[in-house]
Protein backbone atom coordinates (compact mmCIF):
# COMPACT_ATOMS: atom_id res chain seq x y z
CA UNK A 1 0.00 0.00 0.00
CA UNK A 2 2.55 2.90 0.10
CA UNK A 3 3.64 5.41 -2.41
CA UNK A 4 1.48 4.33 -5.32
CA UNK A 5 -1.67 4.49 -3.29
CA UNK A 6 -0.69 7.80 -1.70
CA UNK A 7 -0.13 9.54 -5.01
CA UNK A 8 -3.36 8.00 -6.27
CA UNK A 9 -5.20 9.44 -3.24
CA UNK A 10 -3.54 12.79 -3.86
CA UNK A 11 -4.70 12.75 -7.47
CA UNK A 12 -8.19 11.78 -6.35
CA UNK A 13 -8.27 14.63 -3.82
CA UNK A 14 -7.37 17.19 -6.51
CA UNK A 15 -10.04 15.84 -8.87
CA UNK A 16 -12.64 15.92 -6.12
CA UNK A 17 -11.55 19.46 -5.25
CA UNK A 18 -12.12 20.62 -8.82
CA UNK A 19 -15.39 18.75 -8.98
CA UNK A 20 -16.80 20.34 -5.82
CA UNK A 21 -15.54 23.79 -6.69
CA UNK A 22 -17.39 23.55 -9.99
CA UNK A 23 -20.44 22.17 -8.25
CA UNK A 24 -20.40 25.05 -5.73
CA UNK A 25 -20.17 27.57 -8.56
CA UNK A 26 -23.13 25.89 -10.23
CA UNK A 27 -25.13 26.01 -7.01
CA UNK A 28 -24.38 29.73 -6.71
CA UNK A 29 -25.40 30.30 -10.34
CA UNK A 30 -28.58 28.31 -9.79
CA UNK A 31 -29.41 30.34 -6.68
CA UNK A 32 -28.90 33.58 -8.58
CA UNK A 33 -31.08 32.36 -11.42
CA UNK A 34 -33.80 31.33 -8.98
CA UNK A 35 -33.63 34.75 -7.33
CA UNK A 36 -33.87 36.54 -10.67
CA UNK A 37 -36.86 34.36 -11.63
CA UNK A 38 -38.53 35.14 -8.29
CA UNK A 39 -38.28 38.86 -8.95
CA UNK A 40 -39.34 38.52 -12.58
CA UNK A 41 -42.41 36.59 -11.44
CA UNK A 42 -43.23 39.28 -8.87
CA UNK A 43 -42.83 41.98 -11.52
CA UNK A 44 -45.31 40.15 -13.72
CA UNK A 45 -47.83 40.01 -10.88
CA UNK A 46 -47.35 43.72 -10.21
CA UNK A 47 -47.79 44.62 -13.88
CA UNK A 48 -50.98 42.61 -14.07
CA UNK A 49 -52.33 44.47 -11.05
CA UNK A 50 -51.19 47.79 -12.60
CA UNK A 51 -53.22 46.98 -15.66
CA UNK A 52 -56.27 46.14 -13.57
CA UNK A 53 -55.99 49.47 -11.75
CA UNK A 54 -55.17 51.41 -14.90
CA UNK A 55 -51.74 52.46 -13.63
CA UNK A 56 -48.93 52.99 -16.15
CA UNK A 57 -46.05 53.91 -13.84
CA UNK A 58 -45.32 53.30 -10.15
CA UNK A 59 -42.67 54.87 -7.96
CA UNK A 60 -41.71 52.45 -5.17
CA UNK A 61 -40.10 54.05 -2.11
CA UNK A 62 -40.94 51.83 0.88
CA UNK A 63 -37.87 49.71 1.60
CA UNK A 64 -39.63 46.38 2.26
CA UNK A 65 -41.41 46.80 -1.07
CA UNK A 66 -38.19 47.77 -2.85
CA UNK A 67 -36.59 44.60 -1.45
CA UNK A 68 -39.60 42.43 -2.27
CA UNK A 69 -39.69 43.55 -5.88
CA UNK A 70 -35.98 43.82 -6.65
CA UNK A 71 -33.92 42.03 -3.99
CA UNK A 72 -32.00 45.26 -3.29
CA UNK A 73 -31.16 45.73 0.40
CA UNK A 74 -29.45 49.16 0.23
CA UNK A 75 -30.81 51.93 2.41
CA UNK A 76 -31.01 54.48 -0.40
CA UNK A 77 -32.80 53.90 -3.68
CA UNK A 78 -36.19 53.76 -5.34
CA UNK A 79 -37.84 51.81 -8.13
CA UNK A 80 -39.82 52.82 -11.17
CA UNK A 81 -42.00 50.16 -12.72
CA UNK A 82 -43.84 50.62 -16.03
CA UNK A 83 -45.34 47.94 -18.28
CA UNK A 84 -42.03 47.85 -20.20
CA UNK A 85 -39.37 49.02 -17.77
CA UNK A 86 -38.08 48.12 -14.35
CA UNK A 87 -35.51 50.59 -13.04
CA UNK A 88 -33.62 50.92 -9.79
CA UNK A 89 -32.31 54.41 -9.05
CA UNK A 90 -29.52 54.54 -6.47
CA UNK A 91 -26.40 56.53 -5.64
CA UNK A 92 -22.69 55.82 -6.03
CA UNK A 93 -22.43 53.92 -2.72
CA UNK A 94 -24.81 51.18 -3.81
CA UNK A 95 -24.17 50.81 -7.55
CA UNK A 96 -22.20 47.57 -7.37
CA UNK A 97 -24.49 46.04 -4.74
CA UNK A 98 -27.58 46.99 -6.77
CA UNK A 99 -26.12 45.31 -9.85
CA UNK A 100 -25.49 42.11 -7.91
CA UNK A 101 -28.77 42.00 -6.02
CA UNK A 102 -31.34 43.37 -8.44
CA UNK A 103 -30.71 41.37 -11.61
CA UNK A 104 -34.26 41.91 -12.92
CA UNK A 105 -33.78 45.70 -12.82
CA UNK A 106 -31.82 48.21 -14.84
CA UNK A 107 -29.62 50.24 -12.47
CA UNK A 108 -29.55 54.03 -12.88
CA UNK A 109 -27.13 56.26 -10.99
CA UNK A 110 -28.60 59.29 -9.22
CA UNK A 111 -27.24 61.78 -6.69
CA UNK A 112 -29.50 60.83 -3.78
CA UNK A 113 -32.74 59.08 -2.82
CA UNK A 114 -34.66 62.28 -3.64
CA UNK A 115 -33.00 62.96 -6.99
CA UNK A 116 -35.88 62.49 -9.44
CA UNK A 117 -34.15 64.10 -12.45
CA UNK A 118 -33.37 60.86 -14.29
CA UNK A 119 -36.84 59.51 -13.66
CA UNK A 120 -38.28 62.81 -14.90
CA UNK A 121 -36.38 62.42 -18.18
CA UNK A 122 -37.80 58.97 -18.73
CA UNK A 123 -41.39 59.87 -17.85
CA UNK A 124 -41.25 62.92 -20.15
CA UNK A 125 -39.72 60.88 -22.99
CA UNK A 126 -42.44 58.27 -22.65
CA UNK A 127 -45.14 60.96 -22.25
CA UNK A 128 -46.30 59.41 -18.98
CA UNK A 129 -48.32 62.03 -17.15
CA UNK A 130 -49.59 59.95 -14.25
CA UNK A 131 -47.32 58.47 -11.61
CA UNK A 132 -48.58 56.22 -8.82
CA UNK A 133 -46.91 56.59 -5.41
CA UNK A 134 -47.25 54.72 -2.13
CA UNK A 135 -49.25 57.22 -0.14
CA UNK A 136 -48.42 55.69 3.24
CA UNK A 137 -44.68 55.91 2.52
CA UNK A 138 -44.25 59.12 0.57
CA UNK A 139 -43.61 62.29 2.53
CA UNK A 140 -44.41 65.92 1.83
CA UNK A 141 -40.81 66.85 0.97
CA UNK A 142 -40.61 64.05 -1.59
CA UNK A 143 -43.97 65.15 -2.94
CA UNK A 144 -42.77 68.74 -3.41
CA UNK A 145 -39.46 67.73 -4.99
CA UNK A 146 -41.24 65.40 -7.40
CA UNK A 147 -43.71 68.10 -8.42
CA UNK A 148 -40.77 70.42 -9.11
CA UNK A 149 -38.80 67.81 -11.03
CA UNK A 150 -41.73 66.86 -13.25
CA UNK A 151 -44.01 69.89 -13.76
CA UNK A 152 -47.55 68.89 -14.60
CA UNK A 153 -47.18 65.34 -13.31
CA UNK A 154 -50.31 63.90 -11.79
CA UNK A 155 -49.76 61.77 -8.69
CA UNK A 156 -51.96 58.81 -8.04
CA UNK A 157 -51.98 57.61 -4.41
CA UNK A 158 -51.89 53.85 -3.88
CA UNK A 159 -52.61 52.23 -0.53
CA UNK A 160 -51.49 48.67 0.32
CA UNK A 161 -50.85 47.97 -3.37
CA UNK A 162 -47.77 45.80 -2.73
CA UNK A 163 -48.79 44.86 0.80
CA UNK A 164 -51.86 42.99 -0.50
CA UNK A 165 -49.62 40.85 -2.70
CA UNK A 166 -47.05 40.36 0.06
CA UNK A 167 -49.77 39.04 2.42
CA UNK A 168 -49.80 35.75 0.49
CA UNK A 169 -46.38 34.16 0.85
CA UNK A 170 -44.31 32.07 -1.52
CA UNK A 171 -42.93 28.81 -0.15
CA UNK A 172 -39.34 30.05 0.27
CA UNK A 173 -40.69 33.05 2.20
CA UNK A 174 -42.53 30.77 4.61
CA UNK A 175 -39.32 28.77 5.08
CA UNK A 176 -37.43 31.91 6.08
CA UNK A 177 -40.19 32.96 8.50
CA UNK A 178 -40.22 29.44 9.98
CA UNK A 179 -36.46 29.69 10.51
CA UNK A 180 -36.89 33.08 12.23
CA UNK A 181 -39.55 31.48 14.46
CA UNK A 182 -37.17 28.59 15.17
CA UNK A 183 -34.39 30.97 16.24
CA UNK A 184 -36.80 32.67 18.65
CA UNK A 185 -37.89 29.28 20.04
CA UNK A 186 -34.28 28.22 20.60
CA UNK A 187 -33.35 31.51 22.28
CA UNK A 188 -36.40 31.28 24.57
CA UNK A 189 -35.51 27.71 25.50
CA UNK A 190 -32.04 28.89 26.54
CA UNK A 191 -33.38 31.75 28.62
CA UNK A 192 -35.92 29.67 30.58
CA UNK A 193 -33.38 28.36 33.17
CA UNK A 194 -32.28 31.95 33.90
CA UNK A 195 -35.77 33.11 34.86
CA UNK A 196 -35.57 33.21 38.66
CA UNK A 197 -37.08 35.64 41.19
CA UNK A 198 -34.78 38.67 41.49
CA UNK A 199 -33.97 39.03 37.77
CA UNK A 200 -34.93 42.38 36.25
CA UNK A 201 -37.06 42.90 33.15
CA UNK A 202 -34.09 44.43 31.34
CA UNK A 203 -31.88 41.46 32.17
CA UNK A 204 -34.47 39.11 30.69
CA UNK A 205 -34.62 41.27 27.55
CA UNK A 206 -30.84 41.38 27.26
CA UNK A 207 -30.32 37.63 27.82
CA UNK A 208 -32.93 36.98 25.16
CA UNK A 209 -31.50 39.49 22.67
CA UNK A 210 -27.98 38.07 23.11
CA UNK A 211 -29.19 34.56 22.34
CA UNK A 212 -31.37 35.66 19.43
CA UNK A 213 -28.36 37.36 17.84
CA UNK A 214 -26.06 34.46 18.63
CA UNK A 215 -28.41 32.02 16.94
CA UNK A 216 -28.49 34.08 13.76
CA UNK A 217 -31.14 36.77 14.09
CA UNK A 218 -29.99 39.59 11.80
CA UNK A 219 -31.54 42.21 14.05
CA UNK A 220 -34.51 42.56 16.37
CA UNK A 221 -37.83 43.01 14.53
CA UNK A 222 -38.90 45.25 17.46
CA UNK A 223 -37.73 46.12 20.97
CA UNK A 224 -38.30 43.17 23.29
CA UNK A 225 -41.29 43.60 25.60
CA UNK A 226 -40.93 42.35 29.17
CA UNK A 227 -43.75 43.51 31.43
CA UNK A 228 -44.04 42.08 34.96
CA UNK A 229 -46.49 42.36 37.83
CA UNK A 230 -48.95 45.23 37.43
CA UNK A 231 -47.02 46.28 34.33
CA UNK A 232 -48.11 43.10 32.53
CA UNK A 233 -51.41 44.96 32.06
CA UNK A 234 -49.54 47.11 29.50
CA UNK A 235 -49.78 45.21 26.20
CA UNK A 236 -46.61 46.94 24.93
CA UNK A 237 -44.64 47.56 28.12
CA UNK A 238 -40.96 47.76 27.19
CA UNK A 239 -38.50 46.12 29.58
CA UNK A 240 -37.64 48.38 32.50
CA UNK A 241 -35.60 48.15 35.69
CA UNK A 242 -38.37 46.42 37.62
CA UNK A 243 -37.34 43.27 39.50
CA UNK A 244 -39.45 40.16 38.87
CA UNK A 245 -40.79 38.53 42.05
CA UNK A 246 -42.46 35.23 42.82
CA UNK A 247 -46.17 35.05 42.06
CA UNK A 248 -46.13 37.79 39.38
CA UNK A 249 -47.36 37.50 35.84
CA UNK A 250 -44.62 38.29 33.28
CA UNK A 251 -45.29 38.88 29.59
CA UNK A 252 -42.40 38.55 27.12
CA UNK A 253 -42.98 39.51 23.47
CA UNK A 254 -40.12 39.09 20.99
CA UNK A 255 -39.02 37.81 17.60
CA UNK A 256 -36.13 37.19 15.23
CA UNK A 257 -35.23 38.22 11.68
CA UNK A 258 -33.83 35.74 9.16
CA UNK A 259 -33.20 36.40 5.47
CA UNK A 260 -35.03 39.71 5.98
CA UNK A 261 -38.14 37.95 7.32
CA UNK A 262 -39.52 38.45 10.85
CA UNK A 263 -41.08 36.25 13.49
CA UNK A 264 -43.21 37.29 16.46
CA UNK A 265 -44.24 35.43 19.62
CA UNK A 266 -45.35 36.11 23.21
CA UNK A 267 -45.22 33.99 26.33
CA UNK A 268 -46.68 34.83 29.73
CA UNK A 269 -45.21 33.03 32.74
CA UNK A 270 -45.18 33.06 36.50
CA UNK A 271 -42.56 31.98 39.04
CA UNK A 272 -44.00 30.18 42.05
CA UNK A 273 -47.65 29.48 42.76
CA UNK A 274 -50.34 31.25 40.75
CA UNK A 275 -53.51 32.57 42.40
CA UNK A 276 -56.87 31.22 41.35
CA UNK A 277 -57.58 34.33 39.29
CA UNK A 278 -54.20 34.21 37.55
CA UNK A 279 -54.81 30.61 36.59
CA UNK A 280 -58.38 31.35 35.48
CA UNK A 281 -57.32 34.18 33.18
CA UNK A 282 -54.37 32.29 31.77
CA UNK A 283 -56.60 29.33 30.93
CA UNK A 284 -59.16 31.62 29.33
CA UNK A 285 -56.56 33.15 27.00
CA UNK A 286 -55.14 29.70 26.29
CA UNK A 287 -58.60 28.33 25.43
CA UNK A 288 -59.31 31.31 23.17
CA UNK A 289 -56.13 30.64 21.22
CA UNK A 290 -56.90 26.92 20.95
CA UNK A 291 -60.38 27.77 19.70
CA UNK A 292 -58.88 29.88 16.90
CA UNK A 293 -56.38 27.15 15.97
CA UNK A 294 -59.27 24.69 15.59
CA UNK A 295 -61.72 26.88 13.69
CA UNK A 296 -59.55 28.91 11.34
CA UNK A 297 -59.85 28.15 7.62
CA UNK A 298 -59.21 29.77 4.28
CA UNK A 299 -62.16 31.80 3.04
CA UNK A 300 -63.01 33.27 6.45
CA UNK A 301 -63.04 37.01 6.87
CA UNK A 302 -60.45 38.31 9.34
CA UNK A 303 -62.91 40.34 11.40
CA UNK A 304 -65.12 37.26 11.81
CA UNK A 305 -62.26 35.30 13.41
CA UNK A 306 -61.54 38.24 15.72
CA UNK A 307 -65.23 38.43 16.69
CA UNK A 308 -65.31 34.81 17.84
CA UNK A 309 -62.63 35.51 20.45
CA UNK A 310 -64.15 38.85 21.43
CA UNK A 311 -67.54 37.20 22.04
CA UNK A 312 -65.96 34.36 24.01
CA UNK A 313 -64.24 36.82 26.37
CA UNK A 314 -67.51 38.75 26.68
CA UNK A 315 -69.40 35.62 27.70
CA UNK A 316 -66.75 34.97 30.36
CA UNK A 317 -67.07 38.52 31.71
CA UNK A 318 -63.80 39.85 30.30
CA UNK A 319 -65.08 41.56 27.14
CA UNK A 320 -63.70 44.94 28.15
CA UNK A 321 -60.15 43.65 28.75
CA UNK A 322 -59.13 42.60 25.22
CA UNK A 323 -58.22 45.96 23.74
CA UNK A 324 -56.23 45.01 20.64
CA UNK A 325 -56.70 42.94 17.51
CA UNK A 326 -56.43 39.15 17.55
CA UNK A 327 -53.49 39.08 15.15
CA UNK A 328 -51.56 40.52 12.22
CA UNK A 329 -49.62 39.37 9.21
CA UNK A 330 -45.85 38.87 9.54
CA UNK A 331 -43.25 38.84 6.79
CA UNK A 332 -40.69 41.41 5.68
CA UNK A 333 -42.38 43.62 8.27
CA UNK A 334 -43.50 42.51 11.70
CA UNK A 335 -46.90 44.12 11.23
CA UNK A 336 -48.41 43.68 7.78
CA UNK A 337 -51.54 42.33 6.14
CA UNK A 338 -53.78 40.51 6.93
CA UNK A 339 -55.23 42.33 9.95
CA UNK A 340 -57.22 40.11 12.30
CA UNK A 341 -59.19 42.77 14.15
CA UNK A 342 -62.69 44.30 14.17
CA UNK A 343 -61.53 46.25 11.10
CA UNK A 344 -60.01 43.29 9.22
CA UNK A 345 -61.64 43.20 5.80
CA UNK A 346 -59.29 40.66 4.20
CA UNK A 347 -60.33 37.10 3.45
CA UNK A 348 -57.95 34.46 4.79
CA UNK A 349 -56.07 32.71 2.01
CA UNK A 350 -53.68 29.82 1.71
CA UNK A 351 -50.06 30.78 2.45
CA UNK A 352 -50.94 33.73 4.61
CA UNK A 353 -48.68 34.01 7.68
CA UNK A 354 -50.06 35.75 10.75
CA UNK A 355 -50.11 35.80 14.54
CA UNK A 356 -52.86 34.57 16.86
CA UNK A 357 -52.49 36.56 20.07
CA UNK A 358 -55.49 36.84 22.37
CA UNK A 359 -54.88 38.72 25.64
CA UNK A 360 -56.64 39.95 28.76
CA UNK A 361 -55.30 43.05 30.53
CA UNK A 362 -56.65 44.28 33.85
CA UNK A 363 -55.41 47.67 35.04
CA UNK A 364 -53.50 47.63 38.35
CA UNK A 365 -53.66 43.84 38.42
CA UNK A 366 -51.81 42.43 35.40
CA UNK A 367 -52.31 40.74 32.08
CA UNK A 368 -51.86 37.61 30.00
CA UNK A 369 -51.09 37.32 26.29
CA UNK A 370 -50.12 34.20 24.37
CA UNK A 371 -48.96 34.77 20.81
CA UNK A 372 -48.03 32.23 18.16
CA UNK A 373 -47.15 32.54 14.51
CA UNK A 374 -49.09 30.41 12.02
CA UNK A 375 -49.28 29.72 8.31
CA UNK A 376 -52.45 28.64 6.51
CA UNK A 377 -51.60 25.56 4.45
CA UNK A 378 -53.76 23.66 1.97
CA UNK A 379 -54.30 20.99 4.66
CA UNK A 380 -54.96 23.46 7.48
CA UNK A 381 -53.10 25.51 10.00
CA UNK A 382 -49.44 25.03 10.80
CA UNK A 383 -48.01 26.63 13.94
CA UNK A 384 -44.50 27.93 13.26
CA UNK A 385 -43.61 28.86 16.86
CA UNK A 386 -43.18 25.71 18.92
CA UNK A 387 -42.32 26.84 22.45
CA UNK A 388 -44.42 25.34 25.22
CA UNK A 389 -47.33 27.34 26.56
CA UNK A 390 -47.36 26.85 30.32
CA UNK A 391 -48.06 29.45 32.98
CA UNK A 392 -45.86 28.09 35.76
CA UNK A 393 -42.15 27.76 35.10
CA UNK A 394 -39.77 25.48 36.97
MN1 LIG B 1 -47.57 40.50 17.51
What pLDDT, in 10s, does the model give residues 99-141? 999 999 999 999 999 999 999 999 999 999 999 999 999 999 9
How much is the pLDDT for 312? Answer: 98
Q: What's the pTM value of the predicted model, to 2 decimals?
A: 0.92
Q: Please write the tens of the pLDDT for every residue from 285-327.
A: 999 999 999 999 999 999 999 999 999 999 999 999 999 999 9
Positive or negative, the Cα torsion across 142, 145, 146, 147? positive
| Residues whose beta carbons lie less than 5 angstroms from ion ligand 1 | 264, 355
Residue 2 has pLDDT above 50, yes or no: no
- The answer regarding whether domain 171-393 maps to CATH 3.90.1150.10 reads no
Give residue 1's pLDDT. 44
| CA distance linking residue 260 with residue 68, whole number of Å | 10
CA of 52 to the centre of ligand 1 (A): 33
Pick the closest to residue 361 from 197, 189, 227 (CA basis).
227
Does position 3 have pLDDT exceeding 70, yes or no?
no
- pLDDT over 70 percentage in the chain: 95
**What ranges do the domains of the chain cover?**
38-166, 171-393
Q: DSSP letter string over 49-70?
A: HHHHTT-S-EEE--HHHHHHHH
Q: What is the pLDDT of residue 297?
A: 95
Count of positions (residues) in the chain:
394
> Which residue would you say has higher pLDDT here, 9 or 214?
214
11 pLDDT higher than 70 = no
Could you tell me which residue, 91 or 7, shows the higher pLDDT? 91
Of 48, 71, 46, 75, residue with least CA distance to 59: 46
Number of C-beta neighbours around residue 147 at 10 A: 13
Distance 173 CA to ligand 1 centre (A): 18
Mean pLDDT of the chain: 94
pLDDT at 18 over 70: no
What share of the chain in percent tops pLDDT 90?
A: 89
Kindly give the distance from the C-alpha atom of residue 355 to the centroid of ligand 1, in angstroms, as a whole number.
Answer: 6
Report yes or no: 86 and 43 within 8 Å, Cβ to Cβ: yes
The domain made up of 38-166 has a fold known as Creatine Amidinohydrolase; Chain A, domain 1 (3.40.350)
Q: How far is the CA of 371 from the centre of ligand 1 (A)?
A: 7
CA distances for 7 relative to 20, 21, 105, angstroms: 20, 21, 50
Contact by Cβ (8 Å): 337, 164? yes
d(CA 14, CA 313): 69
CA separation for the pair 166, 190 (Å, rounded): 33
> What is the chain's alpha carbon radius of gyration, rounded to the nearest angstrom?
25
Q: Is the pLDDT reported for residue 282 higher than 70?
A: yes
Amino acid sequence: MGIVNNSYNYFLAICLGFYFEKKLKNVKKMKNRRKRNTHKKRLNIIRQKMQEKNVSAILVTHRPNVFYLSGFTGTSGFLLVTPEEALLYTDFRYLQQAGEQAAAFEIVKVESSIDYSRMAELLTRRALKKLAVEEAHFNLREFNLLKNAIPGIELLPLYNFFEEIRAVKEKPEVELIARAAGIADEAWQEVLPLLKPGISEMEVAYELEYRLRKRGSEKLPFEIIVASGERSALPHGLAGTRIIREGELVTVDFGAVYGGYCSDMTRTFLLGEPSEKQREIYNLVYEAQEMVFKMIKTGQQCLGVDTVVRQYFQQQGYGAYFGHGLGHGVGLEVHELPTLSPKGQEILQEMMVFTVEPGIYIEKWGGVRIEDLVVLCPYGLQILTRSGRTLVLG
